[in-house]
Structure 1
Amino acid sequence: MTVHLTILIKKLDSLTDEQFHAYWSNEHPKIWGSVPIVQAKIVKYSQFHVDAPTTAALRAAGLPLAEYDGEVEMWADSMEDLMAVFQDEEYLRVVVPDEESFLKRSEAVMMLGNDEVKWDNGKKAE
């Protein structure tokens, strides 16, 4: 069973939404994926990009939307594999400074757990 890490992130105030999403979507994955420990230990990686105008409209309509600009999801075979990534010397030297160039690392919020699929492809999962 794989473990699933979700990280909610906020962009730097100095960036526009467009700058943030373009960099995070196009440039950061190249840097992140270039690190050998990531290639060895991360099973799956995805990004969720918040649509700011729609979020603002829904928030104005009274829905309780989170105050984040995106979500990162990573899957690994174990918690130990995830920790190996985050403690890796090259990851700390290469990826962390890149993240600091476009997101507020100190305000990121993490959740770790296991996926339980209950509904898939339009029907109850077995």
Structure 2
Amino acid sequence: MANQARLILLQPEGTTSGFDWTGKLRDAISRLPSVREKVTQIVEFQRKAEWGKKLVDAGYAMKPFIGALSIYSSDVDGLKELISTILKENEVKDSSPVWLVGNDEDKITKTPKDPSKPLAKFMALIVRNPNLTTQQFHSHWSGPHAALFCGQSVSQEKVVIYKQFHSSPEWTKDFVQLGLSIAEFEGVVEVWLETAEDVEAVFCNPEYVEEMRPDEIMLLNLERSGIMIGSDSVETEKFVAAS
């Protein structure tokens, strides 16, 4: 799904949503032919609170979100029409969700050992080091940093999928004007592995910590960045967009 526009909803923990975004999104897609021609998939990610304790011990900060919902479209206009329609038709009083909009870059893509089994998923919600410009951040993250991660022996052995979500400042302005609350994160790291134990094996590996951490310190604001670990829902819904 690289090069498609992607809208991500992050649901904070400890809040009770008074608005069914998932239901409203699916209903609007089913009713709007122009949107249905563009939206390709809705993916639900559910955090597993019991996973990742070793990563916390290793210094990673867990972000207080219970999950994420991603909507993919062949272009950003499909997402804007979808959201604007929902907001026009409904009084949305729930201000707890926060959003991101941008697109993905695929870095590693392999076939899982058992395609029918849900993969464990590591998500890092990242904030740019303020010493870097937005352009410097995205360029280094997409290039040298990704190459460093992909070159790790443990990554080559255990990582099934590795992708980066890059937020778009231009698209973000459009969705702020529509009325969405935008999260501070400028990117999302997503890494799929066969098991939760593999997540710990990669991100707690001494080689990884020694070689990756200096680059992370240079690239990120580690105090404001953080992670979630869980899996994508097997009930993920796919749509067939027009070519």
TM-score (norm 2): 0.48
Q: How many residues align?
A: 123
Q: Whose radius of gyration is greater, 1 or 2?
A: 2
Higher helix fraction (1 or 2): 1
**Counterpart for residue 224 of structure 2:** 107
Which aligned pairs between 1:34-45 and structure 2 lie closer than 5 A? 34-45=151-162
Q: d(CA) in 2 for partners of 1:105 and 1:36?
A: 24
- The structure, 1 or 2, with the larger RCO (C-alpha pairs under 8 Å, 6+ apart) is 1
Q: d(CA) in 2 for partners of 1:60 and 1:120?
A: 28
1:106 positional shift = 2.6
Query: What are structure 2's unaligned runs of at least 5 residues?
Result: 1-116
1:28 matched to 2:145: yes
Higher strand fraction (1 or 2): 2
Query: What are structure 1's unaligned runs of at least 5 residues?
Result: none
Instruction: Tell me the secondary structure at the aligned position of residue 83 of structure 1.
Output: helix
TM-score (norm 1): 0.88
**Counterpart for residue 56 of structure 1:** 173
Q: d(CA) in 2 for partners of 1:59 and 1:14?
A: 25
1:54 positional shift = 2.3
Runs (4 or more) in structure 1 with deviation over 2 Å come to: 56-62
1:5 matched to 2:122: yes
Per mean C-alpha deviation after superposition, the further-off stretch among 33-42 and 66-75 is 33-42
Identity, % of aligned positions: 33
1:119 matched to 2:237: yes
CA offsets 1:28-70 (integer angstroms, 9 cap, x no match)? 1111111111111111100000012321342244211111100
1:87 positional shift = 1.4
